[in-house]
């Protein structure tokens, strides 16, 4: 277990956190945040490729005395963290979240690619075990505000399309953020026929993916991190909301909030917006 700062004796007990995907781009950022914040105690990193190595040394912090484990189950059973933060891959995240809930460890999940059915099943498991969980497709505060503002704008501008842009190593498309934005828009938007009813694609995929009656477009390029535009159109005007994460540190305040809030939950919360004060 490791913290950079010595803790004031009067402060509360730090929250013990393990990180799955700790050697990944997001996982490394989470580990840095955890070891620099005295509210947390980083107890284990999980990585299949770095087992036994010192996490700090591997990710450029210098030795911190916490090693990687290649088994999430062993980490959860032996280290007994309060919270598991997961930034891995779509194919592993459901299994990881189920395992944490079954072992009484609260999951905070940033990995995208979970389906609606996955979310329903995980919510049921969370309630059954009375173990809190937070799953958020985007932990950046600005992105969450963009989603909330988009939902409000959809009341007045039902014609809408989403363009999401990410780095070219992203595995799922469209992004979890785009799907969540679409869901929030759909809850406020009157159903309308968008575009010309006789529209025909002469190049497959040219009009993007179709969800809730409107289109989502995905761009993948090196140099990008995570960006999204929600474009509304009405007679004689367009209205664009845009958010850019230009560095992965943009997600850390949201991850920190989720770790703190999940300690008070006994059910699953999907979306950071539900943890923000109005």
Kindly tell me which residue out of 24, 142, 213, 253 binds ligand NAP, with binding defined by CB under 6 A.
24
Report whether 177 contacts 114 (CB < 8 A): no
Looking at the Cβ atoms of 51 and 192, the one nearer to ligand NAP is: 51
Q: Give me the least distance between CB of 6 and ligand NAP, in Å please.
A: 30
At 226, list the tokens: 């995570």
Active site residue 170: yes
Does residue 87 touch ligand NAP according to CB under 6 A? yes
Cβ neighbours for 19, distance < 8 A, ≥ 6 positions apart? 27, 30, 31, 34, 42, 44, 45, 46, 84, 85, 86, 87
Distance of CA 215 to the CA centre of its chain: 22
Active site residue 196: no
Report whether 271 contacts 141 (CB < 8 A): no
Q: Give me the least distance between CB of 264 and ligand NAP, in Å please.
A: 20
Of residues 182-211, which lie at the interface with ligand NAP (CB under 6 A)?
Answer: none
**Closest by alpha carbon to 41, among 68, 8, 9, 5?**
5
Write down how long the chain is: 278
Does residue 41 touch ligand NAP according to CB under 6 A? no
Does residue 66 touch ligand NAP according to CB under 6 A? no
Does residue 14 touch ligand NAP according to CB under 6 A? no
Looking at the Cβ atoms of 48 and 129, the one nearer to ligand NAP is: 48
Does residue 88 touch ligand NAP according to CB under 6 A? yes
Kindly tell me which residue out of 97, 112, 181, 228 binds ligand NAP, with binding defined by CB under 6 A.
112
Cβ neighbours for 106, distance < 8 A, ≥ 6 positions apart? 82, 83, 84, 100, 131, 132, 133, 134, 262, 263, 265
Looking at the Cβ atoms of 15 and 257, the one nearer to ligand NAP is: 257
Report whether 185 contacts 156 (CB < 8 A): no
Kindly tell me which residue out of 6, 49, 117, 193 binds ligand NAP, with binding defined by CB under 6 A.
49
Q: Which residues are catalytic?
A: 166, 170
Residues engaged in binding ligand NAP (CB under 6 A): 21, 23-27, 47-50, 87-89, 91-92, 110-113, 136-139, 170, 226, 251
């Amino acid at each position: 277990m490791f913290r950079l700062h010595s803790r004031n004796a009067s402060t509360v007990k730090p929250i013990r956190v393990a990180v799955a995907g700790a050697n990944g781009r997001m996982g490394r950022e989470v580990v840095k945040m955890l070891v620099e914040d005295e509210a947390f105690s980083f107890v284990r990193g999980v990585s299949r490729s770095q087992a036994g190595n010192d996490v700090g040394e591997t990710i450029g912090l210098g030795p911190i005395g916490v090693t990687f484990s290649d088994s999430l189950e062993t980490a959860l059973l032996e280290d007994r963290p309060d919270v598991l933060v997961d930034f891995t891959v779509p194919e592993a995240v459901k299994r990881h979240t189920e395992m944490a809930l079954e072992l009484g460890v609260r999951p905070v999940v940033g990995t995208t690619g979970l389906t609606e059915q996955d979310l329903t099943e995980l919510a049921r498991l969370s309630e059954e075990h009375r173990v809190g969980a937070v799953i958020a497709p985007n932990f950046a505060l600005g992105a969450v505000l963009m989603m909330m503002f988009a939902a409000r704008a959809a009341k007045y501008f039902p014609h809408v399309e989403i363009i999401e842009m990410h780095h070219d190593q992203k595995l799922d498309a469209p992004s979890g953020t785009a799907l969540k934005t679409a869901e929030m828009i759909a809850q406020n938007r009157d159903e309308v026929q968008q575009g010309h009813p006789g529209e025909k694609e002469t190049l497959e995929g040219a009009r993007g993916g179709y969800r809730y009656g409107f289109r989502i477009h995905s761009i993948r390029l090196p140099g990008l991190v995570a960006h999204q535009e929600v474009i509304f159109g009405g007679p004689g005007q367009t209205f664009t909301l845009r958010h850019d994460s230009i560095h992965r540190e943009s997600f850390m305040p949201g991850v920190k909030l989720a770790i703190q809030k999940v300690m008070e939950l006994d059910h699953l919360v999907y979306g950071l917006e539900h943890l923000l004060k109005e």
